[in-house]
């Protein structure tokens, strides 16, 4: 499975809850950034925290995490827009320290997933530098965190690029997991911001294109993302709206697409990818598992 943040993490948690699923989650690192000197990996942490059932209420951080550190920083002359809870800071200090010591992001991610008891393999897309940069209306190129956290994704996105991607190699285990899998699942993540940077690792894009089964879950319900700006970005980049925008953004890569049951009319006449219909909202583990079961059944039956 390829995953960005919240949506992909919720589906990953559902897939991992199905007994006979052997799951590897390959996670976007294009949003990774140095914040307060800490190397933050927002999507990796959201996947790990969510899959361990400890995610915070707003799609980031840990549940019931105090903010003592941030409260102290608020008294200092520094922009504290990017909020990190105390236990979440521990995760980031660990990653920062280990990476500075020469360990790879893959090693750090594996260690964190193990410490949090995640019942799946979690891998970064790459250990190499790969950073998403967004061109906004005034012509500036800004980082994902600047766009998303500081500016609250209010800018119109005109273009996106993935610095370093052309020279990046997949993290150890990524290609093996893709090749060995019965199906490549793409989570209900923002195609442009969360999945494109994974596919931008050349060897990953090639390996995914070789798969006979590439099944995405649409991140849109009724034309909009439940969280975040996916629909606005797809439209701004010329992919239009709704289900066809999601399909178009994957450029022929998908063999299957799961859409929400409320969007059946939006897929009328679509021949390829094959359309599957399910309830794609995941307010709790039971609904995540139900959606995951639909996917597993479709893969198992070959339809």
Structure-block tokens of residue 6:
């919240």
**Residue 215, class by beta-carbon neighbours within 10 Å (0-12 exposed, 13-18 middle, 19+ buried)?**
buried
- Least separation in angstroms between CB 64 and a copy of itself: 11
- Least separation in angstroms between CB 62 and a copy of itself: 9
Query: Cα–chain-centroid distance for residue 95?
Result: 19
- Least separation in angstroms between CB 99 and a copy of itself: 8
Q: Rounded to an integer, what distance in angstroms lies between the CA atom of residue 148 and that of residue 46?
A: 15
- Least separation in angstroms between CB 216 and a copy of itself: 33
- Least separation in angstroms between CB 150 and a copy of itself: 14
Cα dihedral sign for 90, 91, 97, 98? Answer: positive
Is 111 or 203 the residue whose CB approaches a copy of itself more closely? 111
- Least separation in angstroms between CB 33 and a copy of itself: 12
Torsion of CA 121, 7, 83, 236, to 10 degrees: 120
- Going by the DSSP 8-state scheme, the letter that residue 167 receives in this structure is G
Binding segment toward a copy of itself, per CB under 8 A, in 14-22, 90-98, 158-166, 279-287: 90-98
102 binding a copy of itself? (CB under 8 A): no
- Edge-first strand listing for the sheet containing 157-163: 141-143, 131-136, 157-163
What is the helix, strand, coil percentage profile of the chain, to 5? 40, 20, 40
Is 87 or 274 the residue whose CB approaches a copy of itself more closely? 87
Q: Contacting a copy of itself (CB under 8 A), which of 22, 63, 81, 97?
A: 97
176 binding a copy of itself? (CB under 8 A): no
Is 18 or 69 the residue whose CB approaches a copy of itself more closely? 69
Residue list 20-49, contact with a copy of itself (CB under 8 A): 34-39
214 φ/ψ angles, rounded to the nearest 5 degrees:
-125, 105
Residue list 104-123, contact with a copy of itself (CB under 8 A): 111-112, 115
Q: Rounded to an integer, what distance in angstroms lies between the CA atom of residue 34 and that of residue 254?
A: 33
Binding segment toward a copy of itself, per CB under 8 A, in 88-96, 120-128, 146-154, 248-256: 88-96
Is 18 or 94 the residue whose CB approaches a copy of itself more closely? 94
Q: Contacting a copy of itself (CB under 8 A), which of 18, 54, 56, 94?
A: 94
> How far from 22 is each of 91, 204, 296, CA to CA, in Å?
26, 19, 11
- Least separation in angstroms between CB 60 and a copy of itself: 16
83 binding a copy of itself? (CB under 8 A): no
Q: Which of 97, 73, 92, 79 is nearest to 32 (CA)?
A: 92
Is 108 or 125 the residue whose CB approaches a copy of itself more closely? 108
Contact 203, 170 (CB under 8 A): yes
The residue behind tokens 């003592």 is 68
96 binding a copy of itself? (CB under 8 A): yes
Query: Cα–chain-centroid distance for residue 84?
Result: 19
Residue list 49-78, contact with a copy of itself (CB under 8 A): 66, 68-73, 75-78
188 φ/ψ angles, rounded to the nearest 5 degrees:
-75, 60
- Least separation in angstroms between CB 81 and a copy of itself: 12
Contacts with a copy of itself, residue ranges (CB under 8 A): 34-39, 66, 68-73, 75-78, 86-87, 89-91, 93-94, 96-98, 100, 111-112, 115
């Amino acid at each position: 499975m390829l995953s960005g943040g919240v949506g992909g993490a919720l589906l990953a948690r559902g897939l991992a809850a199905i007994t006979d699923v052997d799951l590897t989650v390959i996670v976007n690192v294009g949003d990774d950034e140095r914040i307060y000197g800490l190397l933050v990996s927002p999507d990796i942490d959201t996947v790990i925290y969510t899959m361990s059932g400890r995610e915070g209420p707003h799609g980031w951080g840990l549940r019931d995490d105090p903010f003592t550190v941030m409260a102290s920083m608020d008294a200092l002359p520094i922009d504290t827009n990017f909020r990190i809870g105390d236990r979440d800071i521990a995760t980031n200090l660990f990653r920062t320290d280990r990476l500075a010591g020469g360990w790879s992001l893959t090693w750090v991610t594996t260690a964190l997933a193990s410490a949090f008891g995640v019942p799946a393999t979690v891998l970064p897309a790459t250990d190499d530098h790969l950073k998403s940069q967004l061109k906004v209306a005034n012509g500036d190129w800004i980082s994902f965190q600047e766009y998303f956290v500081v500016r609250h994704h209010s800018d119109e996105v005109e273009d996106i690029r993935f610095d370093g991607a052309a020279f990046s190699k997949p993290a150890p285990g990524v290609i093996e997991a893709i090749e060995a899998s019965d199906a490549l699942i793409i989570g209900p993540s923002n195609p442009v911001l969360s999945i494109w940077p994974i596919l931008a690792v050349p060897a990953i894009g090639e390996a995914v294109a070789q798969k006979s089964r590439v099944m995405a879950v649409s991140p849109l319900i009724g034309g909009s993302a439940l969280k975040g700006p996916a629909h606005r970005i797809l439209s701004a980049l010329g992919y239009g709206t709704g289900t066809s925008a999601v399909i178009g953004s994957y450029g022929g890569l998908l063999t299957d697409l799961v859409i929400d049951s409320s969007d059946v009319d939006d897929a009328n006449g679509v021949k390829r990818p094959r359309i599957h219909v399910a309830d794609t909202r995941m307010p709790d583990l039971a609904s995540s598992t139900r959606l995951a079961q639909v996917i597993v059944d479709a893969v198992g039956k070959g339809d």
